[in-house]
Amino acid sequence: MSLNNGRLITKEELELLSKMNAAQRLKYIRLELNKLFPKEFSKKRVVENSGVLSYQGLHYLEEKQPEPTMNTLKGLANFYGVPIEVFSDEFYVNNPTAFFLGKSMVEISETTFHNPDYELTIDIMVRRDGKELVDFQHFSLPETIQLKLSYPELYGLIMLIGHQTEIINDKQVMSENAHIALQKLSKKE
C-alpha cells in the first residue's frame, strides 16, 4: 500500500456531512471507503473485521439512524481510520478541516508526495548535560527541516517518530536497568 492510499474529504462533502446525524455520517464514510476499496467495507466485511456490532446492528444503525453509542462510534471510527470528532456536530460548526479517508496502515517504503496540504517545520536543537550544542553538523542535518506533506505522509512520519522514540526509550531503560544490576553485583563481591 502506498502512503496516499485514499483521499481527503472535499469541502463539498464537509458541507454535506454537516447536515447529517452521526449514524448518517457513519454510513456515508463506510460507503465512500467501500468505493475506494471495493468490498472491503461492505456491511458484511465491517461486521466480520471490526468486531464492533452485528450485521443486524449495523443495518439498523445505518437504515433507522438511531444515535450510536460512544463505544460504537469509537470502534467504527477506529476501524474506518477517521477521527471520532467527525461524527459530532461541533466538528462542523467553525470551518472544519478536511480529513483523510483511506487505509490508516502506512508504509514508509514509498515516498510519494501527493496533495501536500500540510506543512511541518522541525527545529533541531541538540543538548548535552543541559547545554545546547551548536556544532552538530556531523549529523548532516540542517538546523530546521521544512516539509510539505499530504495527510498520510504526515501520519506516517509522526508514527515513525513515535515508534523510534519508543525504541530509544526502551534501550535507555534497559541500559539503566543493566547498570543498576551491575552495581548490585559489584557490591556483592
Q: What pLDDT is recorded for position 189? A: 63
How would residue 135 be classed by pLDDT, with cut points 50, 70 and 90?
Answer: low
Question: How many Cβ atoms are within 10 Å of 125's Cβ, its own excluded?
Answer: 9
Q: What Å distances lie between residue 84 and 73, 79, 134, 186, CA to CA?
A: 7, 11, 42, 53
Q: Strands of 16-166 (E only): list them.
A: 100-102, 118-123, 126-128, 131-133, 144-149
pLDDT tens sequence across 25-56: 999 999 999 999 998 899 999 999 999 999 99
Residue 3 has pLDDT above 50, yes or no: no
Distance CA 76, CA 84 (A): 9
What's the predicted TM-score (pTM) here? 0.56
Task: Give dist(CA 180, CA 113) in Å, integer.
Answer: 47
The whole-number average pLDDT for the span 93-114 is 61
Q: Would you give the distance in Å from CA 109 to the centre of its chain?
A: 17
What is the C-alpha R_g of the chain? 23
Type of residue at 175: S
pLDDT of residue 110: 37
What's the rounded Cα separation, in Å, for the pair 97 and 157?
A: 20
10 Å CB burial of residue 61 (0-12, 13-18, 19+) is buried
